[in-house]
Amino acid sequence: MKLDFITLREIRMPMLFRFETSFGQTTDRRIILVEVSGEGAAGWGEVTAGEGPFYNEEDTDTAWHVLSTFVIPKVLDEPIQSAASASGLWEPVRGHRMATGGLEAALWDWEARLAGRSLSSLIGGTVREIPCGVSIGIQSTVEQLLERIASELAAGYQRIKIKIKPGWDVEVLDRVREKFPRVPLMVDANSAYTLADRGHLKLLDRFYLMMIEQPLAHDDLLDHAKLQQYIDTPICLDESIRTLRHAEQAAEIGACRIINIKLGRVGGFSNARHIHDCCRDAKIPNWCGGMLESGIGRAHNVALSTLPNFVLPGDVAASKRYWKRDVITPEVEVTPRGSIEVPDRPGMGYEPDTAHIERLTIRKETFTCRR
Ligand code: OSB
Ligand code: MG
C-alpha cells in the first residue's frame, strides 16, 4: 500500500454536557484527527487522549508531538504491507498508544476502503447490531443523577454506568436502586480507591451490580486480584489493561472477571484483537469503552464492538448525546432498542464531514511522502 501524505488536525468540540469523573471534568474536547491518503483513497482515525494526563499519561499535545516527530516520518519512509502489520513500524516507541492507535485506526479505515470492505469485516467482526449502554458522570445532586438515568432509559439504552468516588458511592447507589431496582447497572471508579477501602467496597455487593470498573490504581493488577477475592461484584479492568501481557497476567492471577477494551488505550486494532482473543480463551467477556470520541473514533468503536467476544453493552452511544453536530455523516444513531446497526458500507461506514471538520480545526499539518 502506497501512502502519499498524512494530515494531522486538532479540532475543538464543545460537549453538550460537562462530564465529571473521579479524576476531573471535561467540557471542551481537543481532539486530534489523523487522515492518511494514497492510491486514491483516504482513511481517518482519532487520537483518544484527553486534554490532560489524568486518565493515562497521554494528552493531546504529547500525542501531536510523538506522532509528528517520531511516528509519521517512519511511516512515510517505509513501505506498508497492511494495517495489521503497520504497528511494527513504530515498535521502538514505548507507550503513547493513544497517539499511535489513532494513526493505526486510520490505516485500517484506508485499507478497508481500498478493499471495498467494511472495517468490521476486515477486522474479523461478526456482530451486525451492537448493544449500547451509557456512562453518566458525577452530578451535582442525586436528583439530577436520577433524572439523567430516567432519560437515558427512555432513549432505550440497555445498561447504565455511573461514575463513583469516595463520598459519591453507597448512598447514591441506595437512591438509584430504590428508584430503579431492576435496571442493569454498573459503576466506574477510575482508580479512586485503594485496597484499604476493601470493607467499604464490599458494601457495594448489595446492589447486585453488573461490575465495578477499575476501583484501584491505574497500573495495578495484584491488589485487584486481592479485592476480587474479597468482593462478590465482578471487577472490570479498564486503565490497567494496556497490553496483551496485562490481559494475560490479569487472567492468570484473577485480577478481574471482565475487561473493557478501548482502541486508543491499547494502541489500535491489532493489539485490541490480541487482547480480545486472549480474553475469549480465558472466558473473560469484553465490552467497548469510550473516551468521549467524535464521530471518527465512535465509528471505529462501532467496528471494534462487532468482534465476537464483545458480549456486554459498551459505552458506545449516539452522536447526539455528546455533540450539537458530529463530524461524520450519517451521525451514529441508536435504535429505540438501545442498539447500533453496524453499517456495511466500505471502511468505517461513516463519511467524515470535511467541511465541518475544517471549521473546527485549530491546527493542521500535512506530512508528504518523498519516496
Ligand atoms: O473510564 O470509561 C472511562 C470518559 C473519559 C475517560 C474515561 C472514561 C470515560 C467514560 C465515558 O466513561 C465513555 C463515553 O461515553 O465515551
Ligand atoms: Mg473506565
What was the pLDDT predicted at 331?
A: 98
Q: How many CB atoms lie within 10 A of CB 25?
A: 10
Q: What are 192-234's pLDDT values in tens digits? A: 999 999 999 999 999 999 999 999 999 999 999 999 999 999 9
Average pLDDT, the chain: 97
For residue 322, give the ligand 1 atom closest to its CA. Answer: 15
What is the rounded CA–CA span in Å between residue 241 and residue 101?
15
Mutate which of 261, 315, 321 for ligand 1? The one with the most ligand atoms within 8 Å of its CB, which is 315
Shortest-distance Cα residue to atom 6 of ligand 1: 291
CATH of domain 122-341: 3.20.20.120
Q: Please report, as a single letter, which amino acid is at residue 191.
A: S
Q: How confident is the model at residue 318 (pLDDT cuts 50, 70, 90)?
A: very high
User: 318 in ligand 1 pocket by Cβ < 6 Å?
Assistant: no
Find the distance separating the first CA and the last CA of the chain, reported in whole Å: 13
Q: Which of 103, 18, 67 is nearest to 292 (CA)?
A: 18
E strands within 218-299? Answer: 235-237, 258-261, 286-288
DSSP code for 47:
E
Q: What are 160-180's pLDDT values in tens digits? A: 999 999 999 999 999 999 999
Query: Active-site residue among 2, 163, 283, 364?
Result: 163
What is the rounded CA–CA span in Å between residue 297 and residue 305?
12
pLDDT at 78 over 90: no
CA of 116 to the centre of ligand 1 (A): 32
What was the pLDDT predicted at 302?
A: 98
**Contacts for 127 with CB less than 8 Å, ≥ 6 apart:** 305, 306, 307, 308, 310, 342
Tallying the residues shown for the chain, one arrives at: 371
CA of 315 to the centre of ligand 1 (A): 7
* Preceding peptide of 330 cis, ω within 30°: yes
Shortest-distance Cα residue to atom 4 of ligand 1: 291
Nearest listed ligand to the Cα of residue 56: 1
pTM of the predicted protein model? 0.97
Q: Please report, as a single letter, which amino acid is at residue 362.
A: I
Answer yes or no: 226 catalytic: no
CATH of domain 5-116+354-368: 3.30.390.10
Determine contact, residues 368/10, Cβ cutoff 8 Å.
no
User: 289 in ligand 1 pocket by Cβ < 6 Å?
Assistant: yes
What was the pLDDT predicted at 77?
A: 87
CA distances to 56, 202, 222, 240, 346 from 219, in Å: 9, 22, 10, 5, 37
Q: How confident is the model at residue 136 (pLDDT cuts 50, 70, 90)?
A: very high
CA of 162 to the centre of ligand 1 (A): 10
What are the extents of the domains in the chain? 5-116+354-368, 122-341
CA of 165 to the centre of ligand 1 (A): 14
What is the rounded CA–CA span in Å between residue 273 and residue 186?
25
Answer yes or no: 163 catalytic: yes
Rounded to 5, what percent of the chain is helix, strand, coil? 35, 25, 40
